[in-house]
Amino acid sequence: MIAGGAVMLVGASVGISMMLMPKPAPLDPQAAAAMAAEAAPPPETHYFTFQPEFIVNFDSDSRARYLMLDVAVSSLNEEMPDLLKKHTPEIRNDLLILFGESATEDLYTPEGKNALREQVAAKVSEIVAKHLPNGEIEDVFFTRFVME
């Protein structure tokens, strides 16, 4: 009987404490959205590497006679690898022309290589925009860059 009274007393004190505790204020919609965004996992990056590698011949007056490079593109859009694969002939054509117009002296420097990466990104973005208006590429990578 004493044990039963003690259990009832503990239960009553817990119930009264819960009733008297202040209730948390509801979150405003902006704060709730911010918390949800923080909790969401980062989007997955999708990569596409153009195959085969690009090989471009230069005139014999320059130090380099040819350029061989592998080009990869990253995007957060999961449709991008399929789109790039589908339009590879168009993209390869434009990139081969771009590579052939490049000054070999510039390509020996990191600044020249980065400038070429930016030009490749702009060219690929231009072609992607024609076929997938909401598609964006994140970055372009040269995974092999050989000049001889």
The band of 91, judged by pLDDT with boundaries at 50, 70 and 90, is very high
What structural domains and CATH numbers belong to the chain?
Answer: 46-147 (3.30.479.30)
Residue carrying structure tokens 């040269």: 142
Mean pLDDT computed over 90-102: 95
* Contact call for residues 64 and 58 (beta carbons, < 8 A): yes
Question: 13-25 pLDDT, tens per residue?
Answer: 666 666 666 666 5
Helix intervals (H) in the chain: 2-20, 29-39, 80-86, 88-101, 104-107, 110-131
pTM given for the model: 0.71
Span 47-62, average pLDDT: 88
How many Å apart are CA 144 and CA 68, to the nearest integer? 7
